[in-house]
Amino acid sequence: MYLTIREYRVPAGQVEEVARRVDDDWLDRIRVLPGFLSYQVVRTGHEQLVSLAAFIDEAHAQGGAEASAEWVGERLSDLDVEFVQMRQGPVLVHGGE
């Protein structure tokens, strides 16, 4: 399993709208990407969102990260969403489903 972590800065007044668009549109797109396992968005600060996407391997995770960047550019360009950084790597320990 390979995890991609993308951090965004979003004005507090736009966080709910970003989350709504992710839930209404992006989830349907990411679920059908090859190698997809799971996806979460976490509000880690007042104006900070972090997305976590798990894929079966690095190649599939890279495809997911590219699709995510494209979607953000298409669907969130009218909002003040600022991409901060991306981190990724193999999952060493996993618990859950």
* Count of C-beta atoms within a 10 Å radius of residue 50: 17
The pLDDT of residue 93 is: 95
The pLDDT tens digits for 16-52 are 999 999 999 999 999 999 999 999 999 999 999 999 9
Question: Sheet of 48-55: strands edge to edge?
Answer: 36-45, 48-55, 2-9, 82-90
Residue 59 has pLDDT above 90, yes or no: yes
CA dihedral 44, 32, 68, 73 (to 10 degrees): -120
Residue closest to 3 by CA, chosen among 75, 67, 51: 51
pLDDT band at 84 (very low <50, low <70, confident <90, very high): very high
The pLDDT of residue 96 is: 75
